[in-house]
Structure 1
């Protein structure tokens, strides 16, 4: 299939038609945020599914019911996907959602509300590797061809939700004061209880140490991989073929070292540095 058949172009960005429609994207633009809403903003393949596991538990004091009974896409829906319109009236407050939207696509009501945002960043080299395998197994995405070709595709921003550097720049320059918290995927992998404590404090939840430990245990990669409400095994094989690559693949740091050769790494590093050249923030990873 051609990319025109697979993707929808909306405001210059690519969205998979399987999960998005012009109606769903307009619905997102008209969405009315409430002050108590909580949103995880995540560039694709940077920890979205993880946040869909974590947010309900932080907000409900560690009650495991939602993560065992509701598929993640209904538990913490995507702002921009078709499902939200079907769920929105049933969502109890505080509502938790996720989005891949760049900052400039956030709806007007977001800016006038007090909704809180946790922005999760991940090392772009690991994002690229994870994205490459996801494109291999998801029938609703274009074939990534070779890894070498996919490096170019990624750097040119010819991927879902555009360039990684544009996404980071937009959210890093967002002036939202105490409504916005930044955390990295790496911090979450290295010390999940500490990351959960930080998020819990940010959301004004006074959770006990026992609750934090319980949430950390149930949100570990190993546990999520076996939870059918979280591991996407409920999705028919015609859409996502786990035989080609499991959806929750490794959840480790630095897998990029097993994929990049020195030439690809030099090209990647140079392109990312150039894109971020005039920015005032620095990245928390060494790109070399």
Structure 2
């Protein structure tokens, strides 16, 4: 597999060379957005796949056909990935893109066209746990080592994709300059229907009760886990090794409690309070 064990460095971030090149990253930073475009933004393991499915189903008014027949990386392609040019659809209507890039890389391009930006945030304690398990099975990431070691690197922002704190603060700090809608993974769990109504209103896509029912059904964890277009079963085992874990592992809120020691939790809380002071973003059960 090409560049499977290589690391690309861009804008101070370490990124998997299997997925990124200098050319693809520069192209992402200068991408000519349209006002009708929708950009899904997240830090890794924050509910990106779930939101890709939700936005696909909102666009199709609950019709599951696109979600069941087209891989999610083709219907919501990653702006910065090497394959992006191959799957870019030059359609007349809204286009859906996905990115993990930080705001400072894309801000200039976004300000020109003002497409709609949807930022998905998740309790960073759960992000760290999910990212650790994903790094164990994804052969394009370095060996994460022990969870203790990985958690320290996560807090220091030296994992691939950089600091969760900087990523989150960067995007939320640009809400006034961008047409940005922020929603949390926890909100989706607490009130999926209400979240769908808010998202569809932001996108200017009115939905009927039956359509909302269909979106809830087809974007459920159980449905996605069985859907080959989204569960990563199409990806070769040399890239994502199923013997080392599951891509769709649990999909729950609060799994960090099964992994953090009291000392790790205290350290994390202290760092969070230092980094996120003044930020009004809250997560269910963060301080438990």
Same fold (TM over 0.5): yes
Which residue does 1:76 correspond to in 2? Answer: 76
| Whole-Å separation in 1 of the counterparts to 2:155 and 2:177 | 30
Matches within 5 A, 1:132-151: 132-151=132-151
Distance in structure 2 (CA, Å) of the matches to 1:139 and 1:282: 33
TM superposition shift of 1:5: 4.8
Matched, 1:174 2:196: no
Which residue is 1:281 aligned to? 280
Q: Choose 160-169 or 60-69, whichever is displaced more.
A: 60-69
Does the 8 A contact of 2:14 with 2:159 survive in 1? Answer: yes
| Equivalent residue pairs, number | 285
Shift of 1:108: 2.7
Task: Give 1:63 shift.
Answer: 2.4
Alpha-carbon distance between aligned partners in 1 of 2:108 and 2:64, rounded to the nearest angstrom: 33
User: Is 1:112 aligned to residue 86 of structure 2?
Assistant: no
Pairing 1:269–2:255 present: no
Rounded Cα–Cα distance in structure 2 between residues aligned with 1:54 and 1:197: 11
CA distance in 2, matches of 1:17, 1:81: 10
Q: Hey, what's the Cα distance between the residues in 1 that align with 2:234 and 2:92?
A: 24
1:198 corresponds to 2:201: no
Please, what is the CA RMSD of the aligned residues? 1.8
**1:191: Cα distance to partner?**
1.9
- Cα contact 1:28–1:107 (8 A) shared by 2: no
In structure 1, list runs of 5 or more residues that go unmatched. Answer: none
1:1-288 equivalent positions in 2, closer than 5 A? 5-91=5-91, 93-106=93-106, 108-176=108-176, 179-277=179-277, 279-288=278-287
Kindly provide the CA deviation profile for residues 106-130 of structure 1, in whole angstroms up to 9, marking residues without a partner as x: 1533111130011111000000000
CA contact (8 A) 1:31 1:107 kept: no
Q: Which runs of 5+ in 2 are unaligned?
A: none
Offset of residue 91 of structure 1: 4.8
Rounded to whole Å, the distance in 2 between the matches of 1:141 and 1:191 is 33
Contact 2:122–2:184, Cα closer than 8 Å, also in 1: yes
* More divergent stretch after superposition (220-229 vs 167-176): 167-176
SS in 2 for 1:106: helix
- Give SS of 2:244's match: coil
Within 2, Cα distance between the matches of 1:5 and 1:216? 38
- Distance apart, 1:160 and its partner CA: 2.3
Map Cα deviations across residues 139-186 of structure 1 (whole Å, 9 max, x no partner): 110111111101101001111221111011111110446821111101
Partners of 1:140 and 1:105 lie apart in 2 by 22
Separation in structure 2 between the aligned mates of residue 180 and residue 206 of structure 1, nearest angstrom: 19
